[in-house]
Homo-oligomer: A and B are copies of this chain.
């Protein structure tokens, strides 16, 4: 049987949710041209394709910032360093508006195809670039939500306090031998890419769903998460959700979350700090039923 090695899981600090039934976070991955050029650099001359991606920083980001200002919400923006380099004003306005900027790799290359050395180089070069431009990322999200065990080592060694790329829970947990990195799990169903991404050349998706469907999808999940005490990590892309009627769905989701009355909207960094808490006791790896206080199982 093929062995699968999962990083160690530890419970989050007991009070990570405070008095809330569930926590929600609005995050934006500022991919822009990066994921397309990571597939093939020749797309740089495909003007229509490039323009499709450029909508994100050019139009989407200003509109998103205006929305967040209007509803007084702080959000988290994950920047590939390449996006910040191509669109320095995008990074600057996000920072100026007081939002959290987190790290989303250098070139948005799929990590699972890279050697550890290549991955390390991409990780450090991009992080350094982002820092030089004024950002102080505390967390990381892997391109395409594809990472290896080594990625988590890079995250920890760089002093980041959280990762947001895994899917084996919908509640945050602490990762690794020391439990000193918070995992803020994601899921395809809370991402706008699967609903809205349509581009034939290169093929990055073939879906154009109704914004009303997406609102029902996200609000329905958040509502159910109030019973499971989960983290509803919404992931949007400015080139997708920045479009007029889609941004309304983001706004309506925020309103829905606030109308719940028992849901708190936080940045990823705020959540990570709560999850890491005040040195919570480390879980043993021994698997017993009495141990399963979080009603979740562990692999052998």
Residues of A within 8 A of B (CB): 1-7, 33, 37, 41, 44-52, 54-55, 57-59, 61-63, 66, 82, 85-90, 92-93, 96, 107, 110, 112, 142, 144-149, 151-152, 165-170, 185, 187-189, 194-196, 198-201, 206, 208, 210-213, 216-217, 220-221, 223-225, 227-228, 230, 243-245, 247-248, 287, 289, 292, 295-300
Contacts and interface: CB of A to CB of B under 8 A. Distances in A.
Nearest to A84: B300
Contact of A243 (B46, B166, B189, B287): B189
A66 B294 CA distance: 12
A297 B169 contact: no
Given A188-B208, A227-B244, A243-B170, A151 B47 contact: yes
**Which of A52, A92, A151 has its CB near the most chain B CB atoms (within 10 A)?**
A52
A216 B146 CA distance: 34
Given A47-B149, A217-B210, A223 B243 contact: no
Contacts of A47: 6-7, 147-149, 151-152, 166
A244 B217 contact: no
A208 B217 contact: yes
Given A6-B51, A217-B208, A146 B201 contact: yes
Contacts of A4: 33, 37, 44, 50, 54, 86
Consensus secondary structure, chain A interface: helix
Given A58-B298, A200-B144, A244-B230, A220 B224 contact: no
A1 B236 CA distance: 24
A80 to B, nearest CB: 11
A248 B228 contact: no
Contacts of A223: 245
